[in-house]
Amino acid sequence: MNSDLMMSTKIAITYEKGGCGKTTTAVNLSAMLADKGYKTLLVDLDFQSYATSYYGLFDDNNPGIYEVMKSEKNPKDCILKTKIENLFLLPSKHELRNIETVLMMKTKRQEYTLQMALKEIEADYDFIIFDCPPSGERIKENALTCCDYVILPCIPDDYALHGLLCIAKEIVEIKQFTNPNLKIMGILICMMEQTKSKKAYADALKTQDIFPCFETVIRKNTTLQEAINAHVPVHRYDKRSNGAKDYMALTEEIIKIVKEGK
């Protein structure tokens, strides 16, 4: 672990919807934290395995988070090294789509499955970042139960406030029943464009009083898409791109929040 943080910080990246920047945020944030010297574990909780593929590590035969959550494997035997120093990955595979059924069959404390499965290794990392799937109630419940913080990436549009209200209800329940210490780090406005309507929706997101909102806004930027094919985080692909600048600013903002213990 890096010495300037007292303990490991677990962050879930989740939202009610697909295509809003969750995986893009998870893969870039985790790599930028790693490049700053923090030992970071990226946990891919989506059976579509985009975060795993991002770093070129998808292999359906590899054991990963699915086997770990089923208690069939020790996480230490599944965690993969990436090409980035300090960045490690607990991979996903297609079979992970069965996790909802596995969790449903548990008669006791299914919400704590992920937390218990990772307990032994969490102290080995400064940051553990969870890339959540768009659907799957139980897996998301597990991620929110296990984490210290949650980040909510969303696109400034007609759906955004509605989606946040849905997630607010879920977070209230998690805080009430399984994780009273869960903190909402912030709404992250993603794919921002300078149109009148986007600005109006972004203002509405910034001024609502349900959740805090990050100061950093992630602009729409095609470099973020290009970096996927190169299997590198955006700052290593083109550090002068808006995508790199925005995610670097977000990383700084997150480190500050964690250090201040907000």
Task: Determine the Cα–Cα distance for residues 184 and 187; give it in Å rounded to an integer.
Answer: 8
Helix axes 137-146, 160-177, angle to 10 degrees: 60
Candidate list 11, 12, 20, 205; residue touching ligand ADP; CB under 6 A:
20
Candidate list 4, 6, 18, 94; residue touching ligand ADP; CB under 6 A:
18
Q: Does residue 197 interact with ligand ADP by CB under 6 A? A: no
Nearest to 178 by CA among 131, 138, 211: 138
Residues in binding contact with Mg ion, number by CB under 5 A: 2
Q: Does residue 144 interact with ligand ADP by CB under 6 A? A: no
Kindly state the smallest distance separating residue 106's Cβ from ligand ADP, in Å: 27
Candidate list 38, 47, 50, 58; residue touching ligand ADP; CB under 6 A:
50
Candidate list 8, 14, 23, 82; residue touching Mg ion; CB under 5 A:
23
Nearest to 118 by CA among 138, 94, 90, 95: 90
Helix axes 137-146, 113-122, angle to 10 degrees: 40
Point out which span in 62-70, 163-171, 181-189, 214-222 binds ligand ADP (CB under 6 A).
214-222
Q: Does residue 22 interact with Mg ion by CB under 5 A? A: yes
Kindly state the smallest distance separating residue 190's Cβ from ligand ADP, in Å: 5
Q: Does residue 191 interact with ligand ADP by CB under 6 A? A: yes
Q: Is residue 103 classed exposed, middle or buried when 0-12, 13-18 and 19+ CB atoms within 10 A define those classes?
A: buried
